[in-house]
């Protein structure tokens, strides 16, 4: 009975995918083909056929995808089994699944269970330390490059020793240096009791390889495994999945090679292209009916992607109506492009389209600025996703660093971050002395802090301050027992006088203080929602979170994001901007066929996000890194067989200063205390002037309460 109910909302192919219970299954899910629906139905179908939720694992790449799936499974379960409780499957990201495994058994491979997770910046600071110790010049050996090589190695399951052998046999200087850095870097991670993202996967495989009984436990438990976005798995994740499912072979992978856009992050498209070869008796189901887009949009996207050689044959079709043709406009420059898009959005909104139905995509984050300005001018609500993430803000990282040091006393990276924040008079020299001492004694920074008296040359004042700091840390550590995470954070902010430190910079203070408060709210929210409210769990969750996770389609604003972040989402109205040679495809991705094909997939992903209307723009001239560049329309325009449309009305309003307004600016520039008006921020008073002529900058207190630093020549100001 529940079976029929489950299957009746699905097309025949989808039904087939849902009904396949045992043995390997590959679902090629074209864009908009109801992938999430199939996955949730399949999970519930398994439960309905007496597979315990306990035995099922579904792996996604993002928290957001996992959360969405969780909600949908839950809802469907309540429909199918009203009034009864059925244990749901475990829905997890690769990384959080691995953290779970490692927290349990990592001691078997010589690590401590209480490890913390380092993000890219944490890793970079360790790399820089390694470079210094190896006397390598940061300009010759770039930390980012070294980290990239190490990351790649981990994605390929090469640990430091294996990589060293590989580097040695390949007689490649760069690799040999990288191998040396890798070794040191791993040692430092271990000394800090930390793992990076790559370690989470690699060490899980390592653990399973060296402890078959642990692997067996997981094989026995997770007899049914499903992996979403399989085209984005790297080699390590591929091996991990393979090991886990070796015994029962109930592996279902879902993906679309045409939407593989993370090869640059180590994803290996071969994993999905070769899945059939790898699993002999594997069943393949192609979902080719698109439920999302109009025929015009789908056909245009198909035309583009058909130029890729490295793909399986797949022909998407839709029963949806034809809709409007895809629009293509060529504009003079990025400013007009932004005004045009903003103007179009204004018209849509006037026609009662809600802003939440609209998205603007671009290739690079830098493109968002101009677009934001235009939307602000039109007074349209918008939200930029990505770019500077909340948890990457300085003040947020500072507070978290305090918490991390309390949880993991071995953490030198974060201890170093806060040792002089707020200012305790521990300057560069003092810090260097302590670090030198630590290096000599072969101990960590935290341990060195316990031996202040033994450090030669350290100023008495510095010693005194450090003792105070040490005492504070101890007090907070002791206070942990009686306080919740949010209370502890509040106590630290209070007692360290962190807010006072922020107030020293009047321009940034209000925003930064707001972020600190926001952090406290975030911790409180965590405490309300999470079962395990411990500080450790909070920090772990923060380490594995992304900006996209906070995005909600329900909020009524226009969404601005990169094409990469758009994957998996859909909007009624989509504007794709900057379709120019050099931007999309990006100049840095033109070298190889592989890269060019990934750019094309990126374009395809963007196009297939649109449900009703797709508008594409390209600018003849654009400012890139401060210099004007002339570009020709993207090759994808021709491939899509798009015809340029004329812009009907001039959308450019107010982008140039009128001669009248220009006259109002005094020859000598602006003066302190002068009252001025700004298009967006309104009226305000100048509180500080710096620079002169073209470079003149002013700081203004606006009546609305915000304080801004503005470049006079760019701000389009009026004298009041």
Partner DNA sequence: TTTTGATAACTTTTT
Partner DNA sequence: GTTATCAAAA
Q: Which residues bind DNA (CB under 7 A)?
A: 61-64, 93-96, 120, 128, 138-139, 144, 197, 229, 232, 262, 264-265, 267, 363-366, 369, 386, 389, 420, 423, 425-430, 459, 462, 544-549, 561-562, 564-565, 567, 586, 588-589, 595, 623, 625-626, 711, 714
Name which of 346 and 436 has its Cβ closer to DNA: 436
| Contact in structure between 633 and 579 (CB atoms under 8 Å) | yes
Q: Give the 3-state secondary structure of residue 575.
A: strand
Name which of 518 and 549 has its Cβ closer to DNA: 549
Is 346 among the catalytic positions?
no
> What pairs with residue 610 in β-bridges?
571
Name which of 152 and 346 has its Cβ closer to DNA: 152
Name which of 140 and 531 has its Cβ closer to DNA: 140
Torsion angles phi and psi, residue 270, rounded to 5: -60, -30
Dist. CA 2–CA 18, nearest whole Å: 13
Name which of 589 and 696 has its Cβ closer to DNA: 589
> What pairs with residue 686 in β-bridges?
700
Q: Closest approach of Cβ 204 to DNA, in Å? A: 13
As given in the structure block, the two tokens for residue 40 are 């949730």
As given in the structure block, the two tokens for residue 514 are 């707001």
Do the bridges between strand 382-384 and strand 644-645 make them parallel or antiparallel, or are there none, so unpaired? unpaired
| Contact in structure between 98 and 200 (CB atoms under 8 Å) | yes
- For the chain, the residue count is 720
User: Can you say whether the dihedral through the CA atoms of 386, 390, 395, 400 is positive or negative?
Assistant: negative
Q: Closest approach of Cβ 491 to DNA, in Å? A: 24
Q: Looking at 129, 164, 241, 259, which residue is catalytic?
A: 259
Secondary structure (H, E, C), 125-184 = HHHHHHHHHCCCCCCCCCHHHHHHHHHHHHHCCCCHHHHHHHHHHCCCHHHHHHHHHHHH
Dist. CA 84–CA 274, nearest whole Å: 41
| Contact in structure between 367 and 576 (CB atoms under 8 Å) | no
Strands (E), 555-607: 558-562, 571-576
Name which of 93 and 250 has its Cβ closer to DNA: 93
As given in the structure block, the two tokens for residue 297 are 């949009």
Q: Closest approach of Cβ 675 to DNA, in Å? A: 23
Is 159 among the catalytic positions?
no
Is 277 among the catalytic positions?
no
| Contact in structure between 155 and 205 (CB atoms under 8 Å) | no
Dist. CA 237–CA 197, nearest whole Å: 12
Q: Closest approach of Cβ 212 to DNA, in Å? A: 26
Q: Closest approach of Cβ 366 to DNA, in Å? A: 6
Q: Closest approach of Cβ 386 to DNA, in Å? A: 4
Q: Looking at 199, 228, 257, 395, which residue is catalytic?
A: 228
Q: How many CB atoms lie within 10 A of CB 470?
A: 14
| Contact in structure between 347 and 314 (CB atoms under 8 Å) | no
As given in the structure block, the two tokens for residue 643 are 């015809």
Q: Closest approach of Cβ 130 to DNA, in Å? A: 13
Q: Looking at 154, 600, 609, 611, which residue is catalytic?
A: 609
| Contact in structure between 108 and 211 (CB atoms under 8 Å) | yes
Is 259 among the catalytic positions?
yes
Name which of 342 and 466 has its Cβ closer to DNA: 466
Q: Looking at 35, 424, 480, 635, which residue is catalytic?
A: 35
DSSP state letter for 480: T
Q: Closest approach of Cβ 438 to DNA, in Å? A: 16
Name which of 47 and 466 has its Cβ closer to DNA: 466
Catalytic residue ranges: 35-36, 228-229, 259, 609
């Amino acid at each position: 009975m529940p079976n029929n109910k489950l299957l009746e909302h699905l097309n025949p192919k989808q039904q087939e995918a849902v009904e396949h219970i045992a043995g390997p299954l590959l679902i090629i899910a074209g864009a908009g083909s109801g992938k999430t629906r199939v996955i949730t139905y399949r999970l519930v179908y398994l439960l309905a056929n007496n597979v315990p939720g306990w035995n099922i694992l579904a792996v996604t790449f993002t928290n957001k995808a996992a959360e969405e799936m969780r909600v949908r499974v839950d809802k469907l379960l309540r429909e199918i089994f009203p009034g009864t409780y059925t244990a749901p499957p475990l829905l997890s990201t690769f990384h959080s699944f691995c953290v779970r495994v490692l927290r349990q058994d990592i001691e078997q491979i010589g690590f401590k269970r209480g490890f913390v997770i380092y993000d890219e910046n944490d890793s970079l600071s360790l790399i820089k330390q390694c470079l210094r110790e190896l006397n390598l010049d940061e300009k010759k050996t770039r930390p980012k490059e070294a980290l990239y090589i190490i990351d790649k190695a981990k994605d390929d399951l090469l640990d430091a020793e294996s990589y060293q052998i590989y580097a040695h046999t390949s007689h490649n200087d760069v690799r040999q240096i990288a191998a040396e850095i890798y070794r040191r870097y791993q040692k430092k991670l271990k000394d800090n009791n930390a793992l990076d993202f790559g370690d989470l996967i690699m060490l899980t495989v390592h653990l399973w390889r060296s402890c078959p009984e642990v692997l067996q436990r997981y094989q026995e438990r997770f007899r049914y495994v499903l992996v979403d976005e399989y085209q984005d798995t790297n080699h390590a994740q591929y091996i991990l999945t393979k090991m886990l499912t070796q015994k029962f072979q109930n592996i279902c992978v879902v993906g679309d090679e045409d939407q593989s856009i993370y090869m640059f992050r180590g994803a290996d498209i071969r994993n999905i292209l070769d899945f059939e070869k790898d699993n002999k008796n594997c069943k393949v189901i192609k979902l080719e009916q698109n439920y999302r887009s109009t025929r015009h949009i789908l056909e245009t996207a198909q035309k583009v992607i058909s130029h890729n050689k490295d793909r399986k044959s797949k022909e998407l079709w839709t029963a949806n109506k034809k809709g409007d043709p895809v629009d293509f406009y060529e504009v003079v420059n990025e400013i007009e492009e932004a005004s045009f898009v903003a103007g179009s959005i204004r018209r849509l909104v006037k026609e009662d389209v809600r802003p939440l139905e609209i998205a603007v995509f671009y290739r690079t984050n830098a493109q968002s600025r101009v677009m934001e300005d235009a939307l602000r001018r039109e007074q349209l609500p918008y939200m930029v996703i990505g770019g500077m993430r909340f948890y990457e803000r300085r003040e947020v990282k500072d507070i978290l660093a305090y918490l991390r040091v309390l949880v993991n006393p071995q953490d030198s990276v974060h201890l170093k971050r806060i040792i002089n924040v707020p200012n305790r008079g521990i300057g560069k020299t003092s810090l260097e002395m302590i670090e030198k001492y630590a290096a000599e004694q072969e101990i960590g920074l935290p341990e060195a802090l316990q031996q202040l008296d033994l450090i030669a040359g350290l100023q008495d004042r510095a010693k005194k301050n450090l003792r105070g700091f040490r005492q504070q840390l101890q007090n907070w550590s002791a206070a942990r027992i009686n306080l919740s995470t949010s209370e502890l954070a509040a106590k630290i902010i209070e007692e360290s006088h962190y807010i006072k430190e922020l107030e020293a910079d009047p321009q940034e203070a209000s925003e930064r203080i707001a972020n600190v408060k926001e952090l406290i709210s975030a911790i409180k929210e965590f405490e309300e929602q999470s079962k395990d409210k411990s500080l450790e769990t909070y920090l772990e969750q923060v380490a594995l979170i992304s900006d996209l996770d906070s995005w909600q389609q329900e909020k009524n604003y226009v969404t601005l994001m990169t094409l990469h972040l758009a994957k998996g989402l859909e909007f009624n109205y989509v504007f794709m901007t900057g379709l120019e040679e050099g931007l999309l495809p990006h100049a840095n991705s033109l070298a190889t066929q592989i890269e060019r094909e990934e750019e094309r997939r990126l374009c395809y992903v963007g196009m297939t996000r649109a449900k009703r209307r797709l508008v594409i723009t390209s600018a003849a001239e654009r400012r890139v890194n401060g210099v004007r560049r002339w570009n020709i329309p993207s090759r994808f325009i021709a491939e899509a067989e798009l015809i340029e449309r004329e812009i009907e009305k001039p959308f450019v309003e107010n982008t140039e200063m009128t001669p009248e307004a220009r006259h109002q600016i005094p020859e000598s520039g602006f003066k302190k205390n002068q009252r001025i008006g700004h298009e967006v921020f309104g009226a305000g008073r100048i509180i500080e002037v710096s620079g002169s002529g073209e470079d003149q900058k002013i700081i203004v207190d606006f009546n609305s309460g915000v304080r801004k630093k503005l470049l006079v020549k760019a701000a389009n100001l009026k004298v009041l």
